[in-house]
Amino acid sequence: MSNPSLGAATGYESMGRMNALEMALSIVVEQFPEALAAVLAGSSAAGTATATSDLDIVVVLAGLPAPYRETIRVDGVPVELFVHTADSLAYWYYRERAEGRCTLAHMLATGTALTGAGAESTQAAACRWVEAGPERWTSDQLDTAGMRSPMPWTTSSVRVTRMNATPWQGRCSCWLSSWH
């Protein structure tokens, strides 16, 4: 077997989901022993990672140095760290909602809890945010976002999907399943 640190077989080429969970937990325990919550998100948590996948880890701290985002490599595996406080989570939830995205809430709602006394409540809050769904956008907002079809000859199903779209349709699978 080749040594991952030499760059021969790195990333998910030799790592399964359990190893991804173990690696993510190890990173959190080592770098964030004071974490209130930590969640492995994305394809690593879903079990759909490929050889080029990274580990997406959301960490919640009580205060500084959060919030920040950092990319590191551990044993040849790229790791995206999304480090937040409770206040910065709320800020990003509202900001992404206004922008028609739900990335952070989706990561937490669908991820795998790693550690921290607050992991369950953090995920539950993210699930409530996701379940609340988006606010409807005005026609002007849809036009600006390019979500309305300018062609009157599109099929009625496409027109209904795009003309009556909420901002995160097509952008966040958590809302696609519940917002038609």
CATH superfamily of 4-132: Beta Polymerase, domain 2 (3.30.460.10)
What tens digit of pLDDT does each residue of 48-57 get? 888 889 999 9
Residue 107 CA to residue 58 CA, distance in Å, equals 8
Hey, what are 23's tokens? 């690696």
| DSSP structure string for 76-118 | TEEEEEEEE-HHHHHHHHHHHHHHT--HHHHHHHHSEEEE-TT
Look at residue 107 and tell me whether its pLDDT is greater than 90: yes
pLDDT at position 148, please? 56
pLDDT at position 17, please? 56
What tens digit of pLDDT does each residue of 123-143 get? 999 998 888 777 777 788 777
Domain boundaries, the chain: 4-132, 139-176
Supply angle C-alpha 130, 135, 136, rounded to 5: 135
What tens digit of pLDDT does each residue of 144-170 get? 766 655 544 343 333 333 333 344 333
What tens digit of pLDDT does each residue of 54-73 get? 999 999 999 999 999 999 99
Nearest to 174 by CA among 103, 88, 92: 103
Nearest to 120 by CA among 37, 178, 42: 37
pLDDT category, 36, cuts 50, 70, 90? very high
Residue 12 CA to residue 19 CA, distance in Å, equals 9
Cβ(113)–Cβ(179) below 8 Å: no
Supply angle C-alpha 133, 140, 96, rounded to 5: 35
**80-93 in b/e burial notation, b at 16+ Cβ within 10 A?**
bbbbbbbebbeebb
Relative orientation angle of helices 119-132 and 86-99, to the nearest 10 degrees = 20
pLDDT at position 133, please? 74
Residue 38 CA to residue 72 CA, distance in Å, equals 16
Hey, what are 133's tokens? 């769904």
| Least trusted range by pLDDT, from 75-84, 140-149, 167-176 | 167-176
> Stretch 99-119: mean pLDDT, rounded?
90
Place of tokens 């173990």: 22
Q: What is the pTM of this model?
A: 0.72
